[in-house]
A and B are shown apart, each in its own frame.
Chain A
């Protein structure tokens, strides 16, 4: 990749992080935090985005970030109050900044709207208060004494280096000498300037004759090497006739207030524009007689200009907890994850070999193997922890969604989050963004009532959407709940019937009606459609997390609100599964999908007809599906089936779409942790297969996605359509 392209990519990556920092900071301020560290971090985030954007000439982004920075500076310097209305503007500006970053990244134009920020800045109250808590007042400090102008500014558009200075060819006068008096002040050397280098830079401009004036030299014993004692007189015979005083000054630009510099044309009559230069010189060069006082006065000025500021930020005033962290390329972590996966496989192969080797149960080898097993597992956990990420950043993103949706619907909604520190696999975090966005939009758009209705029902006008995350056993549950009207079941059902998703005469229980929300093609779009109902329904939620081995549960209570829980595996790399055999195929069924297993011989099975059988699970009959039929592979021979029948078992699996059904397999072979190996892109997608794994004996086995089987056989439709399978023969 072109290095600049790579840096550009880095920039946008960094922007994402900075935007998160920004939002987190603003939200902390909104929540009542008032420490300067937070304000500084927020300011710095915008500042860094501006800095990087400038480097890539992203003018709109720079322009917006600049206005934003101005406003934040007001916050930082207490010219703006940290109140709700100011923060609301800041948060919206943060959103817009994010949009500008996206526009810049994707190369489209988005006119920055800075009106709100400008208006905010115009309300700033000028303050003369000592900026004790502020790190850097950028505006001129009113209390600072007047001091002699010091030309520290480097003109952006003037050439910095004499070597690259441009010359006007029109003036071809005879080169005239320049006289330069250069008298270092005591600080010159200590600031990293070296007269010799300056002379070398001068040499680029022409021939120089340097004379050292050593009249100030003290006795050797009194000499301090750090303090310059020599003064210099330089005669410069320029190569180009039109050399200007500015070009000479440029050489000294970093030393300009650390020395007394006097530049004179040797031929006064043809000197460059006199008046301006004289003012310059007069300002900088003191009358010769006062030499000894000048250094002090200049230094004093610069110190007195900012004493309180200097004290305001002692170098280590921000001992904020420094998290010892390193940045590691994700691909390296993935490689490690893969290697540990291989280790797990090879360890289980070894275990299998050992178990068949007929060793004594108490043999040393088996004990050591147990140790190895334990270590491998610990190692696996540790590696997984590297990929784990708190859901905080995901939750933060949702605050914007809430804000925007609330604004668009004219409802007032607060987002309350908890469990942000809960960690899940990075990939999962990323994949959850869309579904959560959808759920939250839906909750606000459809779930939360208009203010008047809330008032009538005695609810607070400020609606609440709660977003929580918690870990339970090996899964993480993320919940979105609102305090709105709850799911309007009669309406949902009516609509589903209208859309042909449910049979006219269907009798569905509450939970089944609630889950209609997730059916493709279902969308109660007769309200604000540009938000939650933009042609796609909640089925997007299902789709985007389908292969994450998740379960989604809806709980709704009339007028109390609705809760949608998404339960996810902790990791996408390891799966607790049951290794089963059907025909000559071995596959792995995720343990999380299995609710119960029964030996076929002792199960109660009713035949509906030649091809359809039902099995009793507690008080309900569910369809029985042969695994081979469900997955679409053929059993090699009838004899094989006959032989295996004695071990055959029913695995009652449940999927959100397909409800519960029984998978009939020839045999259950083992229950174990397997390492998930993603199927390469080159394999076509088969809905009933989610991934593959390598078994202890080295054999490759597919990991089954029960929901895929359900949809392949149309179980999901049968169930939701309320046909025979939906409420099978009770008892």
Chain B
């Protein structure tokens, strides 16, 4: 499985990478939504799932999800939002933008991996 993880915090990026790679999941990183789009366009093969933070400079998580969903070729990639936020209106926005799911930070690595496995159907 290959996952693109987007977060403006280096700490979180490192943690996600550590949590995922330990489970044998290839992890690509991006620093904000804009970077995420660029990395996504560059990646080949495309990731099986995307994890994104919400609150980021340049292009935030919502904007990122909208941009991804505008592109037919990316429509089927599950996008999980990984954030400290848990307000309902934010979740609704994420959903409206096309997010697949929402995971609250700090995350339990097992749950994160479990969520990725569920949405991708990959082990």
B15 engages A7 (CB within 8 Å):
yes
B8, A44: Cβ atoms under 8 Å?
yes
Q: Is the CB of A52 within 8 A of B121?
A: no
Least Cβ–Cβ distance between A311 and chain B, in angstroms: 12
- Cβ-defined partner of A196 (8 Å) among B60, B110, B121: B121
Q: Which of chain A's residues has its CB closest to B107's CB?
A: A55
A-side contacts of B76, CB under 8 Å: 189-190, 192, 194
User: Is there an interface contact between B86 and A153, defined as CB atoms closer than 8 Å?
Assistant: yes
For the complex formed, measure the closest distance between the CB of A307 and the CB atoms of chain B, giving whole angstroms: 10
Is the pair A164, B12 in contact by a Cβ cutoff of 8 Å? no
Residues of B with C-beta under 8 A to A139: 87
| A4 on interface, CB distance cutoff 8 Å | yes
Is B115 engaged at the interface, CB distance under 8 Å to the other chain? yes
CB neighbours (8 Å) of B78 from chain A are: 191-194, 254
CA distance A139 to B85 in the complex (A): 11
When the two chains form their complex, are residues B59 and A315 in contact, meaning their CB atoms are under 8 A apart?
Answer: yes
* Binary A-proximity of B102-122 (CB < 8 A = 1, otherwise 0): 111111101100110111110
Q: Is the CB of B90 within 8 A of A136?
A: yes
Let me know if B8 and A48 touch, CB within 8 A.
yes
The answer to whether A51 and B57 touch across the interface, beta carbons within 8 angstroms, is no
The residue of chain A having its C-beta at the shortest distance from the C-beta of B111 within the complex is: A160
Please tell me if A201 contacts chain B, counting CB pairs below 8 Å: yes
> A41-B57, A51-B84, A254-B100 are contacts. A315–B11 as well, Cβ < 8 Å?
no
In the complex the two chains form, what is the Cα distance from A154 to B59 in whole Å? 25
Q: A154-B102, A192-B78 are in contact. Are A302 and B92 (CB under 8 A)?
A: yes
Q: Does A471 make an interface contact (CB < 8 A)?
A: no
Asked, given contacts A44-B8, A55-B11, whether A191 binds B66 with beta carbons under 8 Å apart, the answer is no
Interface centre among B9, B69, B115 (most CB of A within 10 A): B9
Closest residue of A by beta carbon distance from B91: A152
Chain B contact residue count (CB 8 A cutoff): 62
Contact in complex: A10, B10 (CB < 8 Å): yes
Cα A7 to Cα B9 in complex, Å, equals 11
Q: Quick check: B118 and A197 within 8 Å, CB to CB?
A: yes
Binary per-residue interface labels of chain B (40-65) against chain A in the complex, 1 for a CB within 8 Å, 0 otherwise: 00000000010000111111101110
Q: Nearest residue in B to A309 (C-beta to C-beta)? A: B93
Q: Is the CB–CB distance between A313 and B60 below 8 Å?
A: yes
- State A709–B40 Cα separation when bound (angstroms): 62
Whether a CB of chain B sits under 8 angstroms from the CB of A644 is no
CA distance in complex: A253, B119 (Å): 10
Within 8 Å CB of A6, what residues of B? 14
Query: Which listed segment binds B: A316-324, A515-523, A603-611, A722-730?
Result: A316-324
With CB as the reference atom, state the residue of chain B lying closest to A50: B84
Give Cα A4–Cα B64 distance, bound, in whole angstroms. Answer: 29
Distance between B17 CB and nearest chain A CB, rounded to angstroms? 9
**Residues of chain B lying within 8 A (CB to CB) of residue A14:** 9-11
Residues of chain A from 152 to 204 with CB closer than 8 A to chain B in the complex: 152-154, 156, 159-161, 163-164, 187, 189-194, 196-198, 200-201
Residues of A within 8 A of B86 (CB): 153
CB atoms of B119 and A161 under 8 A apart: no
Docked CA distance A483–B5 (Å) = 53
User: Are B105 and A55 in touch, CB under 8 angstroms?
Assistant: yes
- Is there an interface contact between B92 and A253, defined as CB atoms closer than 8 Å? no
Query: Which of A136, A187, A196 has the largest number of chain B CB atoms within 10 A?
Result: A136
Interface centre among A52, A139, A299 (most CB of B within 10 A): A52
In the complex, chain A residues whose CB is within 8 Å of the CB of B79? 191-192
CB of B29 within 8 A of chain A? Answer: no
**Interface positions of A from 1 to 31, Cβ below 8 Å from B:** 3-4, 6-7, 10-11, 13-14
A95, CB-defined interface residue at 8 Å: no
Task: Say which residue of A13, A55, A320 sits within 8 Å of B15 (CB atoms).
Answer: A55
- The chain B residue with its CB closest to the CB of A57 is B106
Partner of B84, one of A54, A136, A303: A54
Whether A200 and B121, one on each chain, are in contact in the complex, defined by CB atoms closer than 8 angstroms, is yes
- Which residue of B has the minimal Cβ distance to A152? B91
Q: Are A154 and B10 in contact (CB under 8 A)?
A: no
- CB neighbours (8 Å) of B90 from chain A are 136, 138
Is B80 at the interface (CB under 8 A from chain A)?
A: yes
Q: Mark A117-159, 1 if CB is under 8 A from B, else 0.
A: 0000000000000000001111111001000001011101001
Q: Which of A47, A189, A191 contacts B95 (CB 8 A)?
A: A191
In the complex, A494 has a CB within 8 A of chain B: no
Interface status of A226 (Cβ within 8 A of chain B): yes
- How many residues of chain A are within 8 Å of chain B by beta carbon? 70
Name the residue among B78, B101, B118 with the largest chain A CB count within 10 angstroms. B118
Is A257 located at the chain interface by the 8 A CB criterion?
Answer: yes
A7 to B13, CA, bound (A): 9
B114: chain A residues at CB < 8 Å are 160-161, 163-164
Which B residues lie within 8 Å of A10 (CB)?
A: 10-11, 14
- What is the bound-complex CA distance between A227 and B57, given in angstroms? 33
Most A CB contacts (10 A, CB to CB) among B54, B80, B85, B101 go to: B101
| Contact (Cβ within 8 A) B89 A257 | no
Does A506 sit within 8 A of B, measured CB to CB? no
- B3 at the A/B interface (Cβ < 8 Å)? no
A63 in the interface (beta carbon within 8 A): no
A47-B84, A306-B96 known; A54 vs B119 contact (CB < 8 Å)? no
Indicate if the CB atoms of B67 and A197 lie closer than 8 Å: no
Contact B105 A44 (CB under 8 A): no
Per the 8 Å Cβ criterion, residues 591-621 of A in contact with B are: none
Which residues on the A side are within 8 Å of B75 (C-beta)? 189-190, 192, 226
From residue A425, how far is it (CB to closest CB) to chain B in Å?
Answer: 24
By a CB distance below 8 angstroms, the chain A residues around B103 are 154, 160
Asked if A191 and B110 make an inter-chain contact with CB atoms under 8 angstroms apart, the answer reads: no
| Complex Cα spacing A136 to B117, Å | 30
Q: For the complex formed, measure the closest distance between the CB of A249 and the CB atoms of chain B, giving whole angstroms.
A: 13
Inter-subunit contact A161/B121 (CB<8 Å): no
A676 contacts B by Cβ under 8 Å: no
Cβ–Cβ < 8 Å partners of A54 in chain B: 84, 105-106
- Interface status of A310 (Cβ within 8 A of chain B): yes
Bound CA span A303–B96, Å:
7
Q: Are A51 and B9 in contact (CB under 8 A)?
A: yes
Write the nearest CB–CB distance from B5 to chain A, whole angstroms.
14
Residue of B nearest to A139 (CB): B87
CB distance from B79 to the nearest CB of A (A): 6
Nearest chain B residue, comparing its CB with the CB of A17: B10
- Cβ of B98: which chain A residues have Cβ within 8 Å of it? 187, 190-192
Is B18 within 8 A of A4, CB to CB?
yes
Contact A161 B110 (CB under 8 A): yes
Residues of A within 8 A of B (CB): 3-4, 6-7, 10-11, 13-14, 40-41, 43-44, 47-48, 50-52, 54-55, 57, 135-141, 144, 150, 152-154, 156, 159-161, 163-164, 187, 189-194, 196-198, 200-201, 226, 251, 253-254, 257-258, 299, 302-303, 305-306, 309-310, 313-316, 318, 320, 322
14 contacts between A and B (CB under 8 A): A7-B18, A48-B11, A150-B88, A153-B88, A153-B91, A191-B98, A191-B99, A192-B75, A194-B78, A254-B118, A258-B95, A302-B92, A309-B89, A315-B67
Q: Add 17 more A-B contacts to A160-B103, A194-B76 (CB < 8 A).
A: A7-B11, A51-B9, A135-B60, A138-B87, A139-B87, A152-B102, A154-B101, A161-B110, A191-B95, A192-B98, A194-B119, A197-B120, A226-B75, A254-B100, A258-B95, A309-B93, A315-B62
Q: Which 3 A-B pairs have the closest CB atoms?
A: A161-B114, A315-B63, A192-B78
